Structure 1
Amino acid sequence: MLNKLLLLLIASFLLAKNSWFITNLEYGKMLYNNPRGISCAKCHGIKGKGKTVTHYIKNGKKIYIKAPNIQDIDLNRLKKALFHKYKPKNPIMPVYNYLTDEEIEAILLYLRSKK
């Protein structure tokens, strides 16, 4: 009897586990909006389409600093950008070298869902 009860309990945990945890998409959204630091959305926009971050005046002319559209970025390039292995001229993006591969893949999944 005890074995049947234990088996029933384990089976119910296994069947219900999906509703107890967040999905990769939900985790990607959470990380994109607050990846244990500065939000990706703050510069790249809610949907990853990019936006103007700030501007400055040089020789009387406004110079705009824009974050690029990252909706179509591939996994390898995203990793390079996050770890500063891809060096655009005058990068202003913070380093996110603490994100795991699984977290980066979740962020990418979230970005793909925003197209």
Structure 2
Amino acid sequence: MRRLWMLLLPLLLWGQEDFISHYEYGEMLYANPRGVSCSQCHGKSGEGQIIVEFRDIHGKQALKGSDIRKDSLDDMIKSVNNYHKIMPRYYLTDEEVKAIYDYLQKKNEVYLEEFTESNTTQ
């Protein structure tokens, strides 16, 4: 029995895969990082969306989450780790923010390619 373990242990350690992929981890964090979903304000793909509409003395107003699809990783790390008037501070690690960033980059691959192409042809 001991010999069998000696043969199988290296194979088990070498063949170990992550429980979830990096993409799935980013998707999970974007959906619910610390109890408040990023998508509630930034939309399903980071495009930004209206959070609430209201009327005041200036008429109809809207509070909208920003489009974060073109943000750099550094911008996202700074944004998540700073205080804002509306956005909660999530206390995410740089690795967690990178997973969200990579998830959004992959999810918006076509949009970002089209955006890059339109900016280089002008």
Secondary structure class of the residue paired with 2:67: coil
Q: Number of matched residues?
A: 108
Larger RCO (CA under 8 A, 6+ residues apart): 1
Structure 2 match to 1:8? 8
- What TM-score, normalized to structure 2? 0.78
TM-aligned CA deviation for residue 38 of structure 1: 0.5
- Is the Cα contact below 8 Å between 1:71 and 1:114 reproduced in 2? no
Structure 1 match to 2:87? 93
Structure 1 match to 2:42? 44
1:6 counterpart letter in structure 2: M
Separation in 2 of the partners of 1:37 and 1:5? 43
Structure 2 match to 1:75? 73
String of CA shifts for 1:52-104, please: whole Å, max 9, x gaps. Answer: 1112212251111111111111111111111126x6xxx311111x2111111
Gaps of 5+ in 2: 109-122
Structure 1 match to 2:25? 27
Identity, % of aligned pairs?
40
Structure 2 match to 1:107? 100
- What TM-score, normalized to structure 1? 0.83
Secondary structure class of the residue paired with 1:30: helix
Gaps of 5+ in 1: none
